[in-house]
Amino acid sequence: MAHNQLTSVHGELSDLPRLRSVIVRDNNLKTAGIPTDIFRMKDLTIIDLSRNQLREVPTNLEYAKGSIVLNLSYNNIETIPNSVCANLIDLLFLDLSNNKLDMLPPQIRRLSMLQSLKLSNNPLNHFQLKQLPSMFLTEELISNV
């Protein structure tokens, strides 16, 4: 469903209980255009909402507990709720680059499985790298801090 200028995604996705990935990048989605029940699907492991018009993290994203890839890059997101980091503890890859984040939630330290964190092109004021003890620090992360 990528690259289609969609303004909303319909709830029929929740009728696909074995759906493993939702890739709706490069559309015109706003937070209200994303059905909240899709994040409760147990087999969902990849969520790509990049290159849309999101101003906030979609409601109920914290229920996508089996997710290992989350891409929210190239939106207008200003904050990441603590609940997202507290509940998506199996994430391996998190891309928050090219948003409007000025800080990260303290609960980011709960993402102990994280292997890749992309934060470039955000107006981050500060955060402590020691919050992410097990992550390999990539050049992209370091160059933006």
Mean residue pLDDT across the chain: 86
What's the Rg (C-alpha) of the chain? 15
DSSP 8-state class, residue 58: P
Report all structural domains of the chain as residue ranges with CATH numbers, in order of start: 11-142 (3.80.10.10)
pTM equals 0.86
Q: Is the dihedral of CA 20, 25, 27, 33 positive or negative?
A: positive
Q: What are 70-115's pLDDT values in tens digits? A: 999 999 999 999 999 999 999 999 999 999 999 998 889 889 999 9
Look at residue 100 in the predicted model and tell me its pLDDT.
97
User: CA–CA separation, 59 vs 95, rounded Å?
Assistant: 18
* Gap between the terminal Cα atoms of the chain: 33
Q: Which phi and psi (to 5°) does residue 79 adopt?
A: -140, 150
**Which residue would you say has higher pLDDT here, 20 or 132?**
20
Q: Please report how many Cα atoms fall inside a 13 Å half-sphere around the Cα of residue 26, on the Cβ side.
A: 4
User: CA–CA separation, 110 vs 6, rounded Å?
Assistant: 33
Q: Which phi and psi (to 5°) does residue 36 adopt?
A: -75, -20
Q: What are 41-67's pLDDT values in tens digits? A: 999 999 999 999 999 999 899 999 999
